[in-house]
Amino acid sequence: MLRTFIASIALFLLTCDLLQADEPTYDVVVYGGTSSGVAAAVQVKRMGKSTVIIEPGHHLGGLTSGGLGMTDSGNKAVIGGISREFYQRVKKHYDQPSAWKYERSNDYPLYRAADDAMWTFEPHVAEMIFEQLVIEHDIPIVRQQRLNRETGVHKNGQRIISITMESGEVYRGRMFIDATYEGDLMAAAGVTYAVGRENNASYGETLNGVQKHENTHNHRFTVKVDPYVVPGDSRSGLLPGIHRDPPGEEGAGDDRVQAYCFRMCMSNVASNRVPFPKPAGYEEKRFELLLRNFEAGDLRFPMHPAMMPNGKTDTNNSGAFSTDNIGMNYDYPDASYERREAIIAEHETYQKGFMWTLANHPRVPQTIRDEMATWGLAADEFPETDNWPHQLYIREARRMVGDYVITELDCRRTRIAEDSVGMGSYNMDSHNVQRYVSSEGFAKNEGDVQVSPGGAYSISYRSLVPKAGECENLLVPVCLSSSHIAYGSIRMEPVFMVLGQSAATAAVLCLDQSIAVQHLSYASLSSRLLADEQVLAWTQSPPREVISIAPKSLKGTVLDDEAMEQTGIWRPSTSNDHFVGAKYWHDGNSGQGLKSVCFRHTPSKNGRFEIRLAYTPHSNRATNVPITIEQAGTATKVVVNQRVTPPIDGAFISLGTFEFEDGQAVTITISNARANGYVIADAVQIVPTE
């Protein structure tokens, strides 16, 4: 009894001391200047309340301004409110001719003048827009202030009264929003959370836990690669990045976290690129597995540079050994600041070393080094960090465990939340979680999942608030209450902005009504969200009708995607109609002379045949695409203007008529050598003329 009385007196004195402090009290304190945090603060100001953004680092925007310019959003029609406004501002920026320094807007296929928004952008453009938003709304920003995670959250019962930084700075508030990727404020406030993968049985899921179905994704080893320091000798130890433990039982939970990487902004413009640096502490053995993978026959270009405006990229992981630093981040979510900094530094050393190896190591295939020679870091991005992104991609850290946990059932709409505060629609997407040795003695990756939810789904308001009884004035729009696999779909920057705005709306309404966040009426919340143009439900309407041609509907022999042999990076697309099969491919208007697509056909009889080439025309296509048809050592060269609509069925152009010999292979090769625009590779049709 005495101890309880003393504790009560201590809490009373602490509360009085805080209330008498000189620091101002904000209506809503936003911890984390991510895209979600900025959206939250803007909404608070638009609803007439005071706010502050406390950013542990220096930059606003998180990953959106940190290199992730290829917006992963799924159905863009369900992105509303401030989130859509951000992408509309991106479009307005690129509507200006002055925005196109290194290319013309007409030559960039993802700029469409008639669209209301634009979903790809350069990092500095995103950061500029975030800075404009906070200036326009007169939002105070506190930078480079980190929460004291040990004693920095001061609560009176279930309410946070103030938070204290490592520097001793105190920020008092009536409501708090944790918009960080790590969930530090949430955790320090005593809210229940999870790290790692749940067992499939926990929530009745199928895609959670250990996922060893390695033949269903691209980020796997397609060849047999020895994992041992001395090939064939298990006693010599394992190469770096591989662990000895078995991967676990299918669907079993563990504490492992999906891999992180930096989303590099590269440039293929000679005057705006700098060479990939060799990092201090570079160790060649770290990349021995990469080199062995090449030597075993996997010649895929080991990354995916999606093109942004002005010849830049958002470069992501692709293949068996790539930019993802698999298995090196398990302790990051709960780690100290110092340990996190060490993990981030190790990821930077790894990824810089990976890029330098690809560009310079003699054991890297010449075709890969030739492709790398066309790229460098963008010289006009991230000047404060030597052109390297300032934000590591924290794909997943802590996840709150609230009274409502979003799971695979929500994503698949088997269960539909009745208190929607926004919508997700992207793939249930987990990057690889571990690299291990198979029972046959070869290197394997595990954990990659890429499964579409099949449409847009609702995100529950209850997933943004802690369990009843834990904290009544905190909302968590980034590290929200979700299972590992559902989070893989939700964790998209446009959705984080949507949820940041919804969390802020709820915070202000709770202030006005003097209630806990768990007690807010959904009717009042949804009314305001809809008034602010948030999208809370989606009646599935037919998507844009893509006009494609089924290969089976064409006469003769059709060689499509499965018959392609690609050299260099070719990117799939369905942006322009009237293509053959599921998609067509383009060269990104880069790496001239280093990319080609070869179709091979072996005739089963002698005869005369017409060879036709399919492509989708556009004003940004090359007018001088070189095609080579070769049989029995005889080569015929044809030049195709891909800006002109193909005359045969609007899809094909004739390359000529040729005599075929039974059993004598024919190759049709599309090259981008000296091409003056985008080169398209779609399909080849071979039609008998007799």
Beta bridge partners of 52: 29
User: What is the reported pLDDT for 569?
Assistant: 80
pLDDT single digits (tens) 550-561: 888 899 999 998
- Dihedral, CA of residue 252, residue 255, residue 258 and residue 261, to nearest 10: -160
Residue with tokens 């609230």: 402
Count of C-beta atoms within a 10 Å radius of residue 625: 26
pLDDT single digits (tens) 276-325: 999 999 999 999 999 999 999 999 899 999 999 999 999 999 999 999 99
Q: Region 571-589: what's the mean pLDDT? A: 87
Q: How many residues are listed for the chain in this entry?
A: 690
pLDDT single digits (tens) 600-648: 999 988 899 999 999 999 988 999 999 999 988 899 999 999 999 999 9
User: For residue 108, what are the CA distances in angstroms to 172, 310, 603, 621?
Assistant: 47, 8, 39, 11
Give the pLDDT band (50/70/90) at residue 500. Answer: very high
Give the pLDDT band (50/70/90) at residue 19. Answer: very low
Domain range list for the chain: 20-196+402-531, 548-688
Task: Please give, one letter per residue, the 3-state secondary structure of 393-423.
Answer: ECCCCCEECCCCCECHHHHCCCCCCCCEEEE
What are the residues whose beta carbons fall under 8 Å from the beta carbon of 248, sequence distance 6 or more?
A: 209, 210, 254
pLDDT surpasses 60 at 7: no
Q: What is the DSSP string of 360-382?
A: H-TTS-HHHHHHHTT-EEETTS-
User: For residue 565, what are the CA distances in angstroms to 85, 299, 569?
Assistant: 42, 11, 11
Residue with tokens 């039974």: 662
User: What is the reported pLDDT for 577?
Assistant: 83
Across the chain, what does the average pLDDT equal? 93
CATH topology of domain 548-688: Jelly Rolls (2.60.120)
Of 18-22, 188-192, 243-247, the one with minimum mean pLDDT is 18-22
pLDDT surpasses 60 at 174: yes
User: For residue 641, what are the CA distances in angstroms to 398, 580, 622, 680?
Assistant: 53, 18, 6, 11
pLDDT surpasses 60 at 17: no
Of 137-146, 162-171, 455-464, 546-555, the one with minimum mean pLDDT is 546-555
The pLDDT > 90 percentage for the chain reads: 83
Distance, CA of 392 to CA of 343 (rounded, Å)? 10
Distance, CA of 186 to CA of 168 (rounded, Å)? 19
pTM over 0.85: no
Q: Which two tokens stand for residue 241?
A: 């990045």
User: What is the reported pLDDT for 354?
Assistant: 98
- Dihedral, CA of residue 39, residue 45, residue 47 and residue 51, to nearest 10: 90
Distance, CA of 140 to CA of 50 (rounded, Å)? 9
User: What is the reported pLDDT for 167?
Assistant: 97
pLDDT surpasses 50 at 512: yes
Distance, CA of 585 to CA of 570 (rounded, Å)? 6
Superfamily of domain 20-196+402-531: FAD/NAD(P)-binding domain (3.50.50.60)
pLDDT single digits (tens) 80-91: 999 999 999 999
pLDDT surpasses 60 at 73: yes
Q: What is the DSSP string of 554-611?
A: SSSEEE-GGGEEEES--EEE-SSS-EETT-EEE-TT-STTS-EEEEEE--SS-EEEEE
Of 65-69, 178-182, 578-582, the one with minimum mean pLDDT is 578-582
Distance, CA of 535 to CA of 105 (rounded, Å)? 30
> Who wins on pLDDT, 205 or 569?
205
User: What is the reported pLDDT for 543?
Assistant: 52
pLDDT single digits (tens) 649-660: 889 999 999 998
pLDDT single digits (tens) 465-478: 999 999 999 999 99
